[in-house]
Amino acid sequence: MQTAVMTPLASGDTLDHYRMDAEVARSGMSTLFRATDLKTGRQVAVKIPHAEMEADPVLLERFRREEEIGREIDHPGVVKTFDGEERSRLYMVMEWVDGKLLREILNEEGKLPIDRAVHFAMEICEALDNLHKHGVVHRDLKPENIMVCDGDRIKIIDFGIAMKEDARRITHAEVTPALGTPDYISPEQVKGQRGDQRSDVYALGAMLYEMLTGQPPFTGPNPLAVLNERVLNDPPPARELNPEISPELEEVLFRALERDPRHRYATAAEMAWELEHQELLGVGGGRSPSLRRRGFPGTKQLLLFAGLALVPIALFVVMLLLARR
């Protein structure tokens, strides 16, 4: 591939044999155009990195990794990237997908009918299972990265911070600014861990929770507060927000949203099976996921809690004695 000066493109411009028909999205790293392949006449999506992205080796590595993943994964639920012929500059050509982002649907409708929400979740599970079997972890699943097509079929898009198990690791310091989205990122990613396929399962659980209740599992005045809530607390039981949710479906949410990934679904296929066979599930009596999985506190834990509760009282007594002196 030849290297050229990165000049901004606009609708109507031509890049090699692609005509930029319309700008459809712009991020801090790239611009996405709906374009026409002048050789074949087909519509495609062309993603062009900004000049500063090509100058940054970490961002450049992410861009190339995203293109590689799109070429390797062949699944109807994952957006496809076309093989790159000789090009005059760095860009990516993907299939054009007609439809609506899941975010747009949620903005328009709020919570979704339960059957439709479960259908979307199972579709995403199927696509995730294929990704994970190819050693790919998305790491930024959110309604903005799910395209809903005709017949309510879905496609997962935007692999900008996806990870390949066999790829060179990008250091934590380099990826921290882009690791996930506060409403959907897993607790282990918040703690700075790299995350694995169970992190994608957590994000899917968060999306399913929002589809069923009309709100994400955690809310707060700012992103930091949301992240802190995710690490320390469990979300409100979904049935308190939508009584139409069955105990069995709430059980699926509990397990998908476990803070400890060891207690979460190990695979997306496992989550899909339980979504499909909810009538076979036992339920946890409405307790929080952490209590349901780990049991109630033992004697030592209760003594510890009691001791912690006495600390403020002890401090008050000490301060009172000092004041009297």
Residue 115 lies in a domain: yes
Q: What mean pLDDT comes out for the span 316-321?
A: 42
183 and 284 share a domain? Answer: yes
The pLDDT score that the predictor gives to residue 315 is 40
145 and 279 share a domain? Answer: yes
145 and 272 share a domain? Answer: yes
- Indicate the residue among 61, 95, 129 that finishes a domain: 95
Q: What mean pLDDT comes out for the span 173-190?
A: 69
Q: What is the DSSP letter of 195?
A: -
139 and 155 share a domain? Answer: yes
- Indicate the residue among 95, 114, 130 that finishes a domain: 95
- Indicate the residue among 48, 63, 95 that finishes a domain: 95
147 and 226 share a domain? Answer: yes
Q: What mean pLDDT comes out for the span 290-311?
A: 42
Residue 211, domain CATH: 1.10.510.10
Q: pLDDT tens digits for 85-108?
A: 788 888 999 999 999 999 999 999
Element containing residue 49 per DSSP (H, E): strand 43-49
The pLDDT score that the predictor gives to residue 167 is 58
Compare 311 and 73 and report the one with higher pLDDT: 73
Residue 289 lies in a domain: yes
203 and 146 share a domain? Answer: yes
Catalytic sites, residue numbers: 140
Residue 39, domain CATH: 3.30.200.20
C-alpha separations of 276 from 125, 235, 317 in Å? 11, 23, 58
216 and 138 share a domain? Answer: yes
CB 87 within 8 A of CB 97: no
C-alpha separations of 20 from 183, 220, 261 in Å? 33, 40, 43
53 and 109 share a domain? Answer: no
Q: What mean pLDDT comes out for the span 121-138?
A: 96
67 and 176 share a domain? Answer: no
Count how many domains the chain has.
2
Element containing residue 187 per DSSP (H, E): helix 187-190
162 and 287 share a domain? Answer: yes
Give the range of the structural domain holding residue 88, as residue numbers without chain letter: 14-95
Q: What mean pLDDT comes out for the span 33-62?
A: 89
